[in-house]
Amino acid sequence: MLFMKLPNEIIYHIFDFLKSSDILQSFSHLNHRYDNLIQSYIKYLDLTNGWNGNQQDLQWLSKTIQKLKINRFNFYLLDNDQFPQLQSLYLDNIFVYGDWISKMNLKSLTLWSNRISSNSTKITIPETVVRFSTNLQIDLNLLHTNLIDLNIKITSVIDLIRIVQKIPLVQRLSITLYQDYRMEDDDIHDHETMVDKLEPLNKLNSFSLSTNYNTWSKNNIGLPFNQIAFFIDNYCPNKNILKTVNLQLYFIKFKEELWSTIERYKNTYDHFNFYGMFIIETETIEKVQKLLKNTNFAYHIERTQIYNTIYTHMYS
């Protein structure tokens, strides 16, 4: 059978094994039929993964792309080409933000960086964006009520309260606490004052929270887990809607009260995914081991060279 006579379904199957950039460079401009095939097949384009084309290679396809990932090396393509169908944009290590983002009528926006910065990123999140994800520090006042999917890094549980006040319709919320909790220094008074004014998140179906994995400090013993648990129990109340809870807690101090709450969540939510890296003093390890023998969680013990310190890894 001649290649030019292959059914579209077979060609689409071939496309499934190739990156979008490979498809463009190998099949584009063979003839009008294949150009149309590529336009109808490629809706997501990753220009960070081996792309070495130019503006002309991309221009004919840009009008049908719905999802785009781009880095600083190919950023000029975004400036020069129009993407009228673009709904989702992933900016990889790009730090030049402006009104051009608002003009794109996006539904989803991701800002990602390989470098760590303590300065807030200056960007306006367009009102059209309902899904926003970033590992950069941003001004929480820029969040708006249209957001239903948010993945963000914050400094404290207080920030978590500030966030949910601004996004009452959120359905999926993923939080990373990027500061270390060496001591219990969170402002309890502020926390209690703010939660009294908080409305329940009745549309939330997925909640994830992770502490910072800092191999240098290795210390989150002051994590105010009671505040996190209070938030989950009181402001994510609809267990028929909230089906998924994910917790990743690194370098935290083992407490029986904390562990009792974790076990309760395991029996409450349809999908409860947990990983905890607990700091345990040597003299209490036997007590902890006895407690864990009656649990449904897997665990293993890691001996350390740190004085009077053992790490216990627990996961579901």
Whether 223 and 181 have beta carbons less than 8 Å apart is answered as yes
- How many domains does the chain fold into? 1
Q: Tell whether 29 is covered by a domain.
A: no
Backbone dihedral angles phi then psi of residue 275, each to the nearest 5 degrees: -135, 130
Positive or negative torsion for Cα 38, 39, 41, 44: positive
Q: Tell whether 138 is covered by a domain.
A: no
Domain that holds residue 157: 148-316
**Measured between alpha carbons, how far is 20 from 71 in angstroms, rounded to an integer?**
16
Percent of the chain with pLDDT over 70: 88
Rounded to an integer, the average pLDDT of 18-45 is 80
Q: Dump pLDDT digits (tens) for 3-14.
A: 667 788 888 888
Q: Please give the C-alpha separations between residue 156 and each of 42, 112, 116, 140, 153, in angstroms, as whole numbers.
A: 41, 21, 17, 12, 9
Q: Tell whether 26 is covered by a domain.
A: no
Which residues, 6 or more positions from 156, have their beta carbon under 8 angstroms from its beta carbon? 177, 179, 186
Q: Tell whether 28 is covered by a domain.
A: no
pTM of the entire predicted model: 0.83
Q: Tell whether 170 is covered by a domain.
A: yes
**Measured between alpha carbons, how far is 302 from 312 in angstroms, rounded to an integer?**
6
DSSP state of 35: H
Q: Dump pLDDT digits (tens) for 169-225.
A: 999 999 998 876 655 555 545 556 666 667 788 899 999 999 887 655 567 777 889
**Measured between alpha carbons, how far is 300 from 291 in angstroms, rounded to an integer?**
13
- Write out the DSSP string of 121-186: B-----TT--EEEESS-B-GGG--TT--EEEEEESSHHHHHHHHHH-TT-SEEEEEE-S--SS--S
DSSP 3-state of 54: coil
Where is pLDDT greater, at 62 or 88?
88
The segment with the largest mean pLDDT, out of 44-58, 192-206, 257-271, is 257-271
Backbone dihedral angles phi then psi of residue 80, each to the nearest 5 degrees: -95, -25
Q: Tell whether 264 is covered by a domain.
A: yes
